[in-house]
Structure 1
Amino acid sequence: MVTLAVEHHPLAHSVSFDTDSLIVSLVDGRTLSVPLAWFPTLSSATASQLRDWEILGDGEGIHWPQLDEDLSINGLLLGNQGRR
């Protein structure tokens, strides 16, 4: 049996929020939802600040310029939480 190693690089396509969650749509069709409470800077931000996000690189991360906050997609998938 031949097994091929597949290299995975999850990339963000878009970002949204509900009252309790950060929701990231990935280019491969998956949707990732994580608690906003994991990220104190985001959970205390205004709606306007949350909407001001940028995709980093080809989608490897997300940046909020007004908040000086960066999150990596790999980190989110691994369950990494923000600074407390």
Structure 2
Amino acid sequence: MYHGRTISVPLAWYPRLWHSTPNDRNNWLFIGGNDGIHWPDIDEDISIKNIILGKPSGESQKSFQRWLEERAKIL
């Protein structure tokens, strides 16, 4: 039985997650001694601390736009 808590934040705070498929979002793993979460299919890393503190993605619009353009080529 799992004894913990659930913390949620708006998906829109993390644009790469927002613009990914459910399969992409479901493929994740803990990193850094369980200090963060990594989604390999979309090259996204989010620290647990930032989730708890309610900090949205710090990725620049320019970086995110490049990611979107590259993703469009793949899909």
Q: TM-score, normalised by structure 1?
A: 0.62
Instruction: Give the unaligned 5+ runs of structure 1.
Output: 1-26
Q: Structure 1 residue 77 and structure 2 residue 52: aligned? A: yes
Instruction: Count residues with an aligned counterpart.
Output: 58
Higher helix share: 2
Q: TM-score, normalised by structure 2?
A: 0.69
Higher strand share: 1
Shift of 1:45: 0.2
Secondary structure of 2:9's aligned partner = strand
Q: Where does residue 58 of structure 1 map in the other structure? A: 33
Q: Where does residue 65 of structure 2 map in the other structure? A: none
Bigger Rg, which one: 1
Instruction: Give the unaligned 5+ runs of structure 2.
Output: 62-75
Identity %: 45
Q: Structure 1 residue 41 and structure 2 residue 23: aligned? A: no
Secondary structure of 1:34's aligned partner = coil
